[in-house]
Protein backbone atom coordinates (compact mmCIF):
# COMPACT_ATOMS: atom_id res chain seq x y z
CA UNK A 1 0.00 0.00 0.00
CA UNK A 2 1.59 3.28 -1.15
CA UNK A 3 1.31 6.63 0.64
CA UNK A 4 -1.61 7.79 -1.48
CA UNK A 5 -3.55 4.62 -0.73
CA UNK A 6 -2.77 5.01 2.97
CA UNK A 7 -4.06 8.59 2.94
CA UNK A 8 -7.22 7.56 1.10
CA UNK A 9 -7.71 4.71 3.57
CA UNK A 10 -7.29 7.09 6.52
CA UNK A 11 -9.82 9.55 5.07
CA UNK A 12 -12.37 6.78 4.53
CA UNK A 13 -11.81 5.50 8.07
CA UNK A 14 -12.36 9.01 9.46
CA UNK A 15 -15.59 9.30 7.47
CA UNK A 16 -16.81 5.94 8.82
CA UNK A 17 -15.95 6.91 12.39
CA UNK A 18 -17.78 10.22 11.99
CA UNK A 19 -20.93 8.44 10.73
CA UNK A 20 -20.61 5.80 13.45
CA UNK A 21 -20.41 8.53 16.09
CA UNK A 22 -23.62 10.06 14.72
CA UNK A 23 -25.24 6.61 14.86
CA UNK A 24 -24.28 6.23 18.53
CA UNK A 25 -25.60 9.70 19.34
CA UNK A 26 -28.84 9.70 17.38
CA UNK A 27 -29.84 6.05 17.07
CA UNK A 28 -28.46 4.61 20.31
CA UNK A 29 -28.82 7.79 22.43
CA UNK A 30 -25.56 7.09 24.27
CA UNK A 31 -23.90 9.63 26.54
CA UNK A 32 -20.80 11.49 25.37
CA UNK A 33 -18.63 9.56 27.86
CA UNK A 34 -19.88 6.21 26.57
CA UNK A 35 -19.36 7.28 22.95
CA UNK A 36 -15.79 8.39 23.72
CA UNK A 37 -15.13 4.98 25.29
CA UNK A 38 -16.51 3.18 22.20
CA UNK A 39 -14.35 5.26 19.85
CA UNK A 40 -11.27 4.85 22.03
CA UNK A 41 -11.64 1.06 21.93
CA UNK A 42 -12.31 1.13 18.20
CA UNK A 43 -9.11 3.11 17.68
CA UNK A 44 -7.15 0.10 18.93
CA UNK A 45 -8.52 -1.97 16.05
CA UNK A 46 -7.80 0.76 13.49
CA UNK A 47 -4.21 1.03 14.74
CA UNK A 48 -3.77 -2.73 14.38
CA UNK A 49 -5.25 -2.75 10.86
CA UNK A 50 -3.00 0.14 9.81
CA UNK A 51 0.09 -1.81 10.89
CA UNK A 52 -1.10 -4.87 8.98
CA UNK A 53 -2.15 -2.83 5.90
CA UNK A 54 -5.70 -4.17 6.14
CA UNK A 55 -8.76 -2.13 5.17
CA UNK A 56 -11.49 -1.98 7.79
CA UNK A 57 -14.05 -3.33 5.29
CA UNK A 58 -11.81 -6.30 4.45
CA UNK A 59 -11.71 -7.63 8.01
CA UNK A 60 -12.69 -11.27 8.54
CA UNK A 61 -12.97 -13.54 11.57
CA UNK A 62 -9.34 -14.73 11.38
CA UNK A 63 -8.08 -11.14 11.44
CA UNK A 64 -10.25 -10.40 14.46
CA UNK A 65 -8.96 -13.50 16.23
CA UNK A 66 -5.40 -12.31 15.64
CA UNK A 67 -6.31 -8.87 16.96
CA UNK A 68 -7.90 -10.41 20.07
CA UNK A 69 -4.83 -12.59 20.62
CA UNK A 70 -2.70 -9.46 20.44
CA UNK A 71 -4.74 -7.87 23.22
CA UNK A 72 -4.01 -10.89 25.38
CA UNK A 73 -0.31 -10.84 24.51
CA UNK A 74 0.18 -7.25 25.64
CA UNK A 75 -1.45 -8.01 28.99
CA UNK A 76 -4.85 -6.35 28.65
CA UNK A 77 -7.19 -7.68 31.33
CA UNK A 78 -9.89 -10.11 30.09
CA UNK A 79 -12.63 -7.74 31.25
CA UNK A 80 -11.10 -4.93 29.18
CA UNK A 81 -10.66 -7.31 26.24
CA UNK A 82 -14.35 -8.18 26.42
CA UNK A 83 -15.30 -4.50 26.45
CA UNK A 84 -13.10 -3.73 23.43
CA UNK A 85 -14.51 -6.64 21.43
CA UNK A 86 -18.03 -5.60 22.36
CA UNK A 87 -17.35 -2.17 20.92
CA UNK A 88 -16.00 -3.71 17.73
CA UNK A 89 -19.14 -5.84 17.37
CA UNK A 90 -21.21 -2.68 17.66
CA UNK A 91 -19.17 -0.98 14.92
CA UNK A 92 -19.51 -3.85 12.46
CA UNK A 93 -23.20 -4.17 13.20
CA UNK A 94 -23.43 -0.49 12.19
CA UNK A 95 -21.52 -1.18 8.96
CA UNK A 96 -24.00 -3.91 8.05
CA UNK A 97 -27.01 -1.73 8.91
CA UNK A 98 -25.65 1.07 6.70
CA UNK A 99 -24.91 -1.38 3.82
CA UNK A 100 -21.14 -0.97 3.90
CA UNK A 101 -20.93 -4.75 4.41
CA UNK A 102 -23.18 -7.66 3.51
CA UNK A 103 -22.00 -9.93 6.36
CA UNK A 104 -20.89 -9.19 9.90
CA UNK A 105 -17.39 -10.65 10.51
CA UNK A 106 -17.89 -10.48 14.29
CA UNK A 107 -20.83 -12.91 14.37
CA UNK A 108 -18.68 -15.82 15.63
CA UNK A 109 -16.20 -13.68 17.56
CA UNK A 110 -16.11 -14.86 21.18
CA UNK A 111 -15.15 -12.77 24.17
CA UNK A 112 -12.71 -14.06 26.79
CA UNK A 113 -14.20 -15.84 29.77
CA UNK A 114 -14.25 -13.57 32.79
CA UNK A 115 -15.28 -14.26 36.33
CA UNK A 116 -18.10 -12.26 37.84
CA UNK A 117 -16.80 -9.98 40.58
CA UNK A 118 -19.65 -8.66 42.67
CA UNK A 119 -19.14 -5.43 44.59
CA UNK A 120 -19.29 -5.43 48.38
CA UNK A 121 -22.73 -5.36 49.95
CA UNK A 122 -23.42 -3.26 53.02
CA UNK A 123 -25.57 -4.59 55.82
CA UNK A 124 -28.48 -2.47 57.05
CA UNK A 125 -26.48 -1.82 60.23
CA UNK A 126 -23.47 -0.61 58.20
CA UNK A 127 -25.69 1.71 56.16
CA UNK A 128 -27.10 3.14 59.40
CA UNK A 129 -23.56 3.64 60.73
CA UNK A 130 -22.54 5.54 57.60
CA UNK A 131 -25.63 7.76 57.78
CA UNK A 132 -25.10 8.36 61.50
CA UNK A 133 -21.50 9.36 60.79
CA UNK A 134 -22.75 12.52 59.05
CA UNK A 135 -21.80 15.61 61.05
CA UNK A 136 -25.14 17.34 61.51
CA UNK A 137 -23.49 20.47 62.91
CA UNK A 138 -22.20 21.26 59.42
CA UNK A 139 -24.34 23.09 56.87
CA UNK A 140 -24.16 20.20 54.41
CA UNK A 141 -25.01 17.57 57.04
CA UNK A 142 -28.74 17.31 56.32
CA UNK A 143 -28.12 17.36 52.56
CA UNK A 144 -25.67 14.46 52.87
CA UNK A 145 -28.12 12.42 54.95
CA UNK A 146 -30.74 12.95 52.26
CA UNK A 147 -28.28 11.83 49.56
CA UNK A 148 -27.45 8.61 51.39
CA UNK A 149 -31.10 7.80 52.07
CA UNK A 150 -31.99 8.38 48.43
CA UNK A 151 -29.09 6.27 47.12
CA UNK A 152 -30.10 3.36 49.32
CA UNK A 153 -33.89 3.71 49.31
CA UNK A 154 -34.18 4.13 45.55
CA UNK A 155 -31.11 2.28 44.23
CA UNK A 156 -30.01 5.20 42.06
CA UNK A 157 -26.84 5.47 40.00
CA UNK A 158 -24.74 8.41 41.18
CA UNK A 159 -25.21 10.09 37.78
CA UNK A 160 -28.99 9.76 38.18
CA UNK A 161 -28.82 11.33 41.62
CA UNK A 162 -26.71 14.27 40.40
CA UNK A 163 -29.10 14.99 37.52
CA UNK A 164 -32.27 14.67 39.64
CA UNK A 165 -34.45 17.79 39.35
CA UNK A 166 -37.16 19.25 41.55
CA UNK A 167 -39.75 18.50 38.87
CA UNK A 168 -38.83 14.80 39.17
CA UNK A 169 -40.15 14.54 42.73
CA UNK A 170 -43.69 13.28 43.29
CA UNK A 171 -43.85 12.98 47.06
CA UNK A 172 -47.63 12.79 47.32
CA UNK A 173 -47.66 9.82 44.93
CA UNK A 174 -44.56 8.31 46.58
CA UNK A 175 -42.38 8.26 43.45
CA UNK A 176 -39.46 9.99 41.82
CA UNK A 177 -38.79 10.15 38.09
CA UNK A 178 -35.29 9.04 37.14
CA UNK A 179 -33.48 9.55 33.85
CA UNK A 180 -31.18 6.59 33.35
CA UNK A 181 -28.80 5.44 30.66
CA UNK A 182 -29.64 6.52 27.12
CA UNK A 183 -32.06 9.14 28.43
CA UNK A 184 -34.59 6.45 29.38
CA UNK A 185 -36.93 7.47 32.18
CA UNK A 186 -38.45 5.31 34.90
CA UNK A 187 -40.53 5.84 38.03
CA UNK A 188 -39.01 4.63 41.28
CA UNK A 189 -40.89 4.43 44.61
CA UNK A 190 -39.31 6.54 47.36
CA UNK A 191 -39.39 5.57 51.04
CA UNK A 192 -40.96 7.71 53.74
CA UNK A 193 -37.53 8.04 55.39
CA UNK A 194 -36.02 9.50 52.23
CA UNK A 195 -38.92 11.94 51.81
CA UNK A 196 -38.48 13.13 55.41
CA UNK A 197 -34.73 13.66 54.96
CA UNK A 198 -35.29 15.52 51.68
CA UNK A 199 -37.91 17.82 53.19
CA UNK A 200 -35.52 18.73 56.01
CA UNK A 201 -32.81 19.47 53.44
CA UNK A 202 -35.21 21.63 51.40
CA UNK A 203 -35.69 23.89 54.44
CA UNK A 204 -32.00 24.79 54.07
CA UNK A 205 -31.94 24.76 50.27
CA UNK A 206 -34.83 27.23 50.11
CA UNK A 207 -32.72 29.76 52.01
CA UNK A 208 -29.82 29.67 49.54
CA UNK A 209 -29.14 33.00 47.84
CA UNK A 210 -26.13 32.05 45.72
CA UNK A 211 -27.66 29.48 43.35
CA UNK A 212 -26.11 29.90 39.91
CA UNK A 213 -28.24 30.36 36.80
CA UNK A 214 -29.11 27.02 35.23
CA UNK A 215 -28.62 25.11 38.49
CA UNK A 216 -31.75 26.16 40.39
CA UNK A 217 -33.79 23.21 39.10
CA UNK A 218 -31.44 20.53 40.48
CA UNK A 219 -32.23 18.84 43.79
CA UNK A 220 -28.75 18.57 45.26
CA UNK A 221 -26.60 21.70 45.31
CA UNK A 222 -23.26 22.78 46.72
CA UNK A 223 -23.94 25.34 49.45
CA UNK A 224 -20.59 27.02 48.78
CA UNK A 225 -20.63 27.08 44.97
CA UNK A 226 -24.36 27.31 44.34
CA UNK A 227 -24.07 24.68 41.61
CA UNK A 228 -25.34 21.11 41.31
CA UNK A 229 -23.23 18.45 42.97
CA UNK A 230 -20.81 16.42 40.85
CA UNK A 231 -20.20 12.70 41.00
CA UNK A 232 -16.71 13.32 42.41
CA UNK A 233 -18.09 15.35 45.32
CA UNK A 234 -20.41 12.50 46.29
CA UNK A 235 -17.63 9.90 45.94
CA UNK A 236 -15.42 11.90 48.33
CA UNK A 237 -18.26 12.47 50.80
CA UNK A 238 -19.03 8.75 50.99
CA UNK A 239 -15.36 7.80 51.31
CA UNK A 240 -14.94 10.10 54.32
CA UNK A 241 -18.11 8.83 56.01
CA UNK A 242 -17.14 5.17 55.52
CA UNK A 243 -13.81 5.85 57.26
CA UNK A 244 -15.55 7.69 60.10
CA UNK A 245 -17.99 4.77 60.49
CA UNK A 246 -15.07 2.35 60.80
CA UNK A 247 -16.21 0.17 57.91
CA UNK A 248 -13.44 -1.74 56.14
CA UNK A 249 -15.05 -2.36 52.77
CA UNK A 250 -14.62 -0.78 49.37
CA UNK A 251 -17.67 1.49 49.33
CA UNK A 252 -18.80 3.84 46.58
CA UNK A 253 -22.19 5.31 45.63
CA UNK A 254 -22.71 2.18 43.53
CA UNK A 255 -22.39 0.04 46.67
CA UNK A 256 -25.64 1.53 47.95
CA UNK A 257 -27.35 0.60 44.67
CA UNK A 258 -26.08 -2.97 44.87
CA UNK A 259 -27.13 -3.20 48.54
CA UNK A 260 -30.59 -1.88 47.60
CA UNK A 261 -31.07 -4.69 45.07
CA UNK A 262 -29.57 -7.40 47.28
CA UNK A 263 -31.66 -6.49 50.33
CA UNK A 264 -34.85 -6.42 48.29
CA UNK A 265 -34.11 -9.86 46.84
CA UNK A 266 -33.25 -11.26 50.27
CA UNK A 267 -36.52 -9.84 51.58
CA UNK A 268 -38.47 -11.77 48.94
CA UNK A 269 -39.01 -9.12 46.26
CA UNK A 270 -39.70 -10.26 42.70
CA UNK A 271 -36.62 -10.24 40.43
CA UNK A 272 -38.58 -8.66 37.59
CA UNK A 273 -39.64 -5.81 39.90
CA UNK A 274 -36.02 -5.24 40.94
CA UNK A 275 -35.01 -5.15 37.26
CA UNK A 276 -37.51 -2.37 36.56
CA UNK A 277 -36.53 -0.43 39.69
CA UNK A 278 -32.86 -0.50 38.66
CA UNK A 279 -33.61 0.42 35.05
CA UNK A 280 -31.95 -2.67 33.56
CA UNK A 281 -32.92 -3.57 30.00
CA UNK A 282 -31.93 -7.22 30.48
CA UNK A 283 -32.88 -9.41 33.44
CA UNK A 284 -29.44 -11.10 33.31
CA UNK A 285 -27.88 -7.80 34.42
CA UNK A 286 -30.16 -7.80 37.44
CA UNK A 287 -29.21 -11.41 38.21
CA UNK A 288 -25.55 -10.38 38.35
CA UNK A 289 -26.41 -7.56 40.75
CA UNK A 290 -28.36 -9.71 43.13
CA UNK A 291 -25.93 -13.12 43.94
CA UNK A 292 -45.50 -4.05 35.86
CA UNK A 293 -47.12 -1.60 36.78
CA UNK A 294 -46.33 1.31 39.14
CA UNK A 295 -48.76 0.17 41.85
CA UNK A 296 -47.09 -3.26 41.96
CA UNK A 297 -43.61 -1.70 42.11
CA UNK A 298 -44.60 0.50 45.03
CA UNK A 299 -46.12 -2.52 46.82
CA UNK A 300 -42.85 -4.46 46.31
CA UNK A 301 -40.63 -1.79 47.83
CA UNK A 302 -42.97 -0.99 50.73
CA UNK A 303 -43.27 -4.66 51.69
CA UNK A 304 -39.63 -5.66 51.29
CA UNK A 305 -37.27 -2.69 51.75
CA UNK A 306 -35.69 -2.48 55.25
CA UNK A 307 -36.35 1.28 55.47
CA UNK A 308 -40.08 0.60 55.27
CA UNK A 309 -40.06 -2.61 57.32
CA UNK A 310 -38.71 -0.71 60.33
CA UNK A 311 -41.90 1.31 60.51
CA UNK A 312 -44.04 -1.77 60.95
CA UNK A 313 -42.00 -3.45 63.69
Q: In this predicted model, what pLDDT tens digit does every residue of 274-306 receive, in sequence order?
A: 787 888 766 555 555 544 445 545 666 777 777
DSSP string, the chain: --HHHHHHHHHHHHHHHHHHHHIIIIIS---HHHHHHHHHHHHHHHHHHHHTT--GGG--HHHHHHHHHHHHHTT--HHHHHHHHHHHHHHHHHHHHTTS-SS-TTTTPPPPP----PPP---HHHHHHHHHTS-TTSTTHHHHHHHHHHHHHH---HHHHHT-BGGGEETTTTEEEEE-GGG-EEEEE--HHHHHHHHHHHHHHTT-S-PPTT-TTBSSB-TTT-SBPPHHHHHHHHHHHHHHTT--S---HHHHHHHHHHHHHHTT--HHHHHHHHT-SSHHHHHHHT---HHHHHHHHHHH-HHHHGGG-
Query: Residue 4 has what pLDDT?
Result: 62
Which comes out higher in pLDDT, residue 97 or 303?
97
Catalytic residue among 177, 181, 186, 231: 181
Does the structure show a pLDDT above 70 at 145? Answer: yes
What average pLDDT does the segment 245-252 reach? 91
Catalytic residue among 289, 304, 305, 307: 289
What average pLDDT does the segment 43-62 reach? 89
Of the candidates 298, 35, 84, the one whose C-alpha atom is nearest the C-alpha of residue 191 is: 298
Question: Residue 272 — pLDDT band, cuts 50, 70, 90?
Answer: confident
Locate CATH 1.10.443.10 in the chain.
Answer: 124-312
CATH number belonging to domain 124-312 = 1.10.443.10
What whole-number percentage of the chain has pLDDT above 70? Answer: 87
Catalytic residue among 263, 280, 305, 307: 280
CA distances from 293 to 47, 273, 298 (A): 48, 9, 9
Which comes out higher in pLDDT, residue 117 or 40?
40
Q: How many CB atoms lie within 10 A of CB 93?
A: 15
Does the structure show a pLDDT above 50 at 312? Answer: no
Q: Has 65 been annotated as catalytic?
A: no
Query: Residue 299 has what pLDDT?
Result: 66
Which comes out higher in pLDDT, residue 36 or 283?
36
Question: Residue 313 — pLDDT band, cuts 50, 70, 90?
Answer: very low
What average pLDDT does the segment 97-101 reach? 92
Model pLDDT for residues 171-210, shown as the tens digit of each residue: 999 999 998 877 788 899 999 999 999 999 999 999 999 9
Between 35-44, 247-256, 299-308, the lowest mean confidence (pLDDT) is in 299-308
What average pLDDT does the segment 147-176 reach? 94
Catalytic residue among 23, 38, 152, 157: 157
Q: Has 289 been annotated as catalytic?
A: yes
Q: Has 181 been annotated as catalytic?
A: yes
Catalytic residue among 143, 205, 228, 257: 257
Between 24-33, 74-83, 284-293, the lowest mean confidence (pLDDT) is in 284-293
Of the candidates 258, 273, 215, the one whose C-alpha atom is nearest the C-alpha of residue 116 is: 258
Between 8-17, 54-63, 281-290, the lowest mean confidence (pLDDT) is in 281-290
Question: Residue 5 — pLDDT band, cuts 50, 70, 90?
Answer: low
Which comes out higher in pLDDT, residue 275 or 106?
106
Query: Residue 227 has what pLDDT?
Result: 95
Does the structure show a pLDDT above 80 at 234? Answer: yes
Query: Residue 175 has what pLDDT?
Result: 94
Cα angle 56-18-70, degrees, rounded to a multiple of 5: 35
Q: Average model confidence (pLDDT) for the chain?
A: 85
Catalytic residue among 129, 186, 225, 254: 254
Q: Has 254 been annotated as catalytic?
A: yes
Amino acid sequence: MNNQEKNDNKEQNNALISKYKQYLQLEKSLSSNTIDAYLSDLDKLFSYLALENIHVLDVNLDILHNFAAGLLDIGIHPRSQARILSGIRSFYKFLVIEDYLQEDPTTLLESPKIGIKLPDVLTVDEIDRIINAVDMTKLEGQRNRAILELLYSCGLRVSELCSLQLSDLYFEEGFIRVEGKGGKQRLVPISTSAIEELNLYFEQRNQMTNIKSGHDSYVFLSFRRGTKLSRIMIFHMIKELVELAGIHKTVSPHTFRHSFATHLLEGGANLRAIQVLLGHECITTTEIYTHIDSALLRKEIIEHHPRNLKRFL
